[in-house]
């Protein structure tokens, strides 16, 4: 339990703090590959050549290369760690240090759709915790688990800088804004039984491994919309020569 002043000199506000989401201690799980067969290795090498050539030093390509191995295995595996280390001239420990720092690099296999419910401060207050709980019950899985049909992996996610649309659910890192427990259940049903729903903004959904390939920097053949109006309200006001804050003084974004 944490106490925070409400900024008005009144009674303190008590916020119950739950357990942090568990994280597996190692990468990959029991069936994860420890090396790649020659055919897969040759394909990954060709992709890695292209990625590494974009940077002044090979080690600068580490984030993109980790996405590449996630496109192969749906998470970071011992084979992926060794591949990145070998191609970048780093140790496996150095690669694991980076992969374990960023939550977009996953330690367990991922289903076709990674459903991330933002339970960071603003989304939690606006209903994110209730949405996560509704999905957990609806799908009968817990944090970081995947449905038996391999369609959905459910995960708590941190703030995605979309607080102006809270509470937010991400599916393969595309935004589904202003969600409720009911809309999130419908979203999950659409993902499982089709057709996959269209995100509120951004690009059309594609399977998790394909998303990871896009994040590795390979071209995407889908239309991607621009940012939504609330996100660019301040910028629009600035260009219009008006006040530099969003209309109504909205400063919800953290």
Interface ranges with ligand FES (CB under 6 A):
118, 120-123, 159-160, 162-163, 166, 168, 254
Do residues 152 and 113 lie in contact, with contact meaning Cβ atoms separated by under 8 Å? yes
Nearer to ligand FES, 120 or 153 (CB): 120
Closest CA to 199 of 227, 221, 223, 170: 170
Q: How far is the CB of 22 from ligand FES (least distance, A)?
A: 20
Give yes or no for a contact between 65 and 48, defined as CB atoms under 8 angstroms apart: yes
Least distance CB 175 / ligand FES (angstroms): 9
Q: Decide whether 125 or 235 has the Cβ nearer to ligand FES.
A: 125
| DSSP-derived secondary structure for 171-228 | ETTEEE-S--HHHHHHHHHHHHHSSPPPPSSSBPP--HHHHHHHHTT----S-B----
Answer yes or no: are the C-beta atoms of 199 and 171 closer than 8 Å: yes
Proportion of the chain in helix, strand, coil states, percent, rounded to 5: 40, 10, 50
Residue (of 180, 172, 65, 58) closest to 130 by Cα position = 180
Rounded CA separation 71/114 (Å): 13
Whichever of 40 and 253 has its CB closer to ligand FES, that residue is 253
Q: Decide whether 147 or 172 has the Cβ nearer to ligand FES.
A: 172
Query: Cβ closer to ligand FES: 121 or 210?
Result: 121
State in angstroms the smallest separation of the CB of 23 from ligand FES.
19
8 A C-beta contact, residue 214 and residue 207: no
| d(C-alpha 161, C-alpha 232), whole Å | 12
CB of 114 to ligand FES, least distance (A): 16
Smallest gap, in angstroms, from Cβ of residue 3 to ligand FES?
21
Nearer to ligand FES among residue 50 and residue 129 (C-beta): 129
Q: Minimum distance between the CB of residue 5 and ligand FES, rounded to whole angstroms? A: 21
């Amino acid at each position: 339990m944490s106490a925070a002043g409400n900024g008005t000199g009144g009674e303190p506000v008590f916020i119950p703090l739950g357990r942090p989401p568990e994280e597996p201690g190692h990468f990959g799980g029991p069936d994860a590959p420890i090396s790649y067969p020659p055919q897969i290795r040759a394909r990954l090498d060709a992709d890695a050549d292209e990625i590494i050539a974009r940077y002044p030093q090979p080690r600068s390509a580490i984030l993109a290369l980790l996405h590449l191995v996630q496109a192969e295995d749906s998470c970071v595996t011992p084979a992926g760690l060794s591949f990145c280390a070998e191609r970048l001239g780093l140790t496996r420990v150095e690669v694991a240090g980076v992969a374990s720092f960023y939550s977009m690099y996953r330690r367990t296999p991922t289903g076709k759709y990674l459903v991330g419910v933002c339970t960071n401060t603003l989304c939690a207050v606006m209903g994110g915790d209730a949405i996560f709980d509704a999905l957990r019950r609806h799908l009968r899985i817990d944090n970081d688990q995947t449905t038996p049909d391999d369609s959905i992996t459910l995960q708590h996610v941190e703030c995605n800088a979309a607080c102006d649309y809270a509470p937010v659910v991400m599916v393969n890192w595309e935004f589904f804004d202003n969600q409720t427990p009911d809309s999130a259940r419908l979203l999950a049903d659409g993902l499982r039984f089709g057709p996959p729903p269209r995100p509120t903004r951004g690009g059309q959904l594609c399977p998790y491994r394909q998303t990871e390939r896009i994040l590795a920097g390979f071209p995407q053949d889908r239309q991607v919309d621009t940012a939504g109006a609330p996100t660019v309200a301040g910028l629009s006001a600035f260009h219009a020569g008006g006040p530099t804050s969003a209309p109504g003084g909205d400063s919800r974004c953290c």
